[in-house]
Amino acid sequence: MSGIVNRIIASYQETSRTPPEIDCCLNYLPNNDFNMTFKWATSFKENLMMDVKGSIHWLSKVPEGLEDNKKNVYIRNPCPLGSKNASDPLNRESCHYWSLLTDSLLDLVSEGIVQESDVDSFNLPFYDAGEEEDREIVQKEGSFEINIIETHEHLVPYKDSEEDDDETCRLNFGEMMASRKRSITEPMLVAHFGDAIIDRLFEKYAHNAAKYYIAARSCNKMTVNFVVSLSRK
């Protein structure tokens, strides 16, 4: 990041222009701990307007009835809380990657490494809100005027060529997905299950994700992006 910023500043100085204001959006990756990042930011701390250490939508409290959500690590069908509405966040494709985490934990249960009761009592505070829900939340909170809330859907061509179906691609896909989910969930998993299972758990996750890759590459998938513009009232 510092290299990019320094290069931008240098290019403006070369042409005697005033450097622009730079906004940095950081992704929470395994080797990028925001807590440490902002501790190290003392040199420009006085110019730091704000930081938001959350790129995931979390539930603010545990929903009623979640005790019946057995063998799942997040709210999903056939959990009694789930509806049959096709637009229901519990039915969306994005939730499948949490299902893979459930499957991986249950694999460890079958191996005697994890207790099934521990899986039953563990729930990820994940919720994939829709456009209308986001709009309703902003309007109810009342601090912001909505300029734009747009939903953009586009197909992602998972299968680009026959070479993409080989074993190496499947393994790479599995390892990539395991790394992503580990970066999000590891602190919660360690707090509940302990750190001894983590490496083995995400080895299982990578294996299960690699199997899912075969089905995913056989067809295009719909990806949804939200564009939101707000103005403080």
Q: What is the mean pLDDT of residues 40-67?
A: 55
Amino acid making up residue 105: L
The token duo for 172 is 């790479």
C-beta of residue 55 within 8 angstroms of C-beta of residue 28: yes
Percent of the chain with pLDDT over 70: 61
> 69 pLDDT exceeds 60?
yes
- Rounded to whole angstroms, how far apart are CA atoms 69 and 81? 8
> 83 pLDDT exceeds 50?
no
DSSP character for 1? -
- Rounded to whole angstroms, how far apart are CA atoms 82 and 96? 15
Residue 90: its pLDDT value, please? 43
Residue 230's DSSP bridge partners are 146
Mean pLDDT for all residues in the chain: 75
List the domain boundaries for the chain.
Answer: 2-47, 57-128+162-217, 129-158+219-233
Residue 47: exposed, middle, or buried by beta-carbon count in 10 A (0-12, 13-18, 19+)?
Answer: exposed
Q: What is the mean pLDDT of residues 96-103?
A: 84
Residue 97: its pLDDT value, please? 76
> 173 vs 224, which has greater pLDDT?
173
- Rounded to whole angstroms, how far apart are CA atoms 150 and 225? 8
Q: What is the mean pLDDT of residues 29-55?
A: 56
C-beta of residue 80 within 8 angstroms of C-beta of residue 68: yes
The token duo for 146 is 């909505």
Q: Residue 221 is inside which H or E element, if any?
A: strand 221-232
CATH entry, 57-128+162-217, from 1.10.1200.270, 2.20.28.270, 3.40.190.10, 1.10.10.10: 1.10.1200.270
Question: Which pLDDT tens digit goes with each residue over 163-216?
Answer: 556 778 888 888 988 998 999 889 999 999 999 999 999 999 999 988 877 666
Question: Which pLDDT tens digit goes with each residue over 13-25?
Answer: 999 998 888 877 6
